[in-house]
Amino acid sequence: NRKRGLDLTPPVTKQPLLLPSTLKTTHSLYQGSFPFYRLPLEIGHFSLDEKRQYHADKRRLRYFCLPVGKEGKQVSPGWDLMNGYESCYVKRNEEEKEGLLHILTWLGKNRSLLGANADKGIARPVDRDFVTWRGHLTKILCTPYETQEGWLLAVTLFKGTFYISEQETVAACKKRKERTPEQEKLMYSGYKFENYICADSLESGPDKCAVVNTNEAFCSVLLARLSSHSLLIAGEVDCIDPSPKSPLPPSCYIELKTSAQIRNPHQQRSFNRYKLLKWWSQSFLLGIPVIVAGFRSPEAKVVSIERFRTSDIPHLIRGCLSLCLGAWF
């Protein structure tokens, strides 16, 4: 990569040189105290349009807009999460592996924000130890608790910065290609929930009939610190709290999720143990303080909406994790 100078476009290699290294998953190795992780600071953003084209602006940032019933009480709206599945769904081409493309595009346009700091004896074009997508860090963070899904990350050291990207594993590729129609519908239902609860502008309400196009995204770019390591991370943000009192990004962002309605204590434990853990990891890494979850009936109707504070989740799942891990190790 040296020959490429300041060109940050990813190298095109059909057969990447892999020097495999593994991460141990023995639970006892991760029993120590929680490392220092600084609340990330947003330094930029970008949008990806319906054709997955990059724009250096907020055009795909959406506004949280929760319907409220009489006397300010929250409503259980009964929205049909399957509405539009056949006719109003444009799905991103999952065969196209973008890697770090959009982050590199952002970096290419914002070099002055991260340039070399010669007075401190640092001379690297991107003055950060690591550059990556938030989703990749979520996978690393959940590793000690994940027993089903593996991952494979490709790390490139370029001029003093480690660029962490993902290679789809054989198992993940197989699982993707063999998704059942029910699994495809579940994926759609998550995106459809966003359409019911988000508005494109401050003046309009949600467009419940809008096309669901999974090419579209608003991404935040943030500086973070994990112990002594500096990171630049980018992640997709679902929506912003538009109220005038809302704090600065990323604290004004809201993560949206869907999950099956919980009907018994066993389902509650499983929800806490698997879903809440991942939801927490994902939102914690970007510094998103609130998760709004829609619970769906077997008929894919929204039966309730719940708001979780990200910082409360560790307390909710702690007992559950020690129980589960105690049984495994």
The residues that touch ligand 0WD, with contacts defined as CB under 6 A, are 92, 94, 97-98, 133-135, 138, 166, 190, 214, 217, 235-236, 257, 282
Q: With contact defined as beta carbons under 8 Å apart, do 77 and 65 qualify?
A: no
The site map against Ca ion for 215-244 (x = CB under 5 A) is -----------------------x------
User: In angstroms, what is the minimal distance from the CB of 136 to ligand 0WD?
Assistant: 7
Residue 196 structure tokens: 């019911």
Q: 254: helix, coil or strand?
A: strand
Smallest distance, ligand 0WD to C-beta of residue 120, A: 29
Please, which residue, 288 or 324, has the CB nearer to ligand 0WD?
288
Closest approach of ligand 0WD to the CB of residue 23, in Å? 18
Only one residue has tokens 């899904």, namely 149
> What is the SS3 assignment for 90?
strand
Q: Which of Ca ion, ligand 0WD, none does 98 bind, CB closer than 5 to 8 A by kind?
A: ligand 0WD
DSSP category for residue 9: S
Q: Rounded to whole angstroms, how far apart are CA atoms 53 and 70?
A: 42
Smallest gap from residue 68 Cβ to ligand 0WD (A): 23
**Identity at 272, one-letter amino acid code:** N
Collapsing DSSP to helix, strand or coil, 224 comes out as strand
State the binding partner of 160 from Ca ion, ligand 0WD, none, CB within 5 to 8 A by kind: none
Q: What's the CA gap between 190 and 46, in Å, rounded?
A: 22
Amino acid at 101: L
Question: Considering beta carbons, is residue 198 or 256 the nearer one to Ca ion?
Answer: 256
Size of the site for Ca ion (CB under 5 A): 2
Name which of 39 and 68 has its Cβ closer to ligand 0WD.
39
Would you state the structure tokens that stand for residue 231, as one six-digit string?
């990171």
Query: Closest separation between CB of residue 101 and Ca ion, Å?
Result: 21
Which single residue is written with the structure tokens 């476009």? 9
What totals of helices (H) and strands (E) does the chain contain, helices first? 8, 15
- Of 82-90, 196-204, 250-258, 318-326, the segment contacting Ca ion by CB under 5 A is 250-258
When CB distances to ligand 0WD are compared, the closest residue is 135
Q: Does 100 bind Ca ion (CB under 5 A)?
A: no
Nearer to Ca ion, 256 or 317 (CB): 256
| Side-chain-facing half-sphere of 216: CA atoms under 13 Å | 19
Detail the DSSP E strand segments found in the chain. Answer: 37-48, 54-55, 63-64, 89-90, 130-133, 153-158, 161-166, 198-199, 212-213, 217-226, 229-236, 239-240, 253-260, 290-296, 302-309
Q: Residue 97 touches which of ligand 0WD, Ca ion, none (CB < 5 to 8 A by kind)?
A: ligand 0WD
DSSP assignment letter at 2: G
Exposed / middle / buried, residue 242 (Cβ in 10 Å: 0-12, 13-18, 19+)? middle
Query: In terms of CB distance, is 77 or 255 closer to ligand 0WD?
Result: 255
Q: How far is the CB of 282 from Ca ion (least distance, A)?
A: 8
Q: Which of 114, 141, 232, 256 touches Ca ion by CB under 5 A?
A: 256
Interacting residue ranges for Ca ion, rule: CB under 5 A = 238, 256
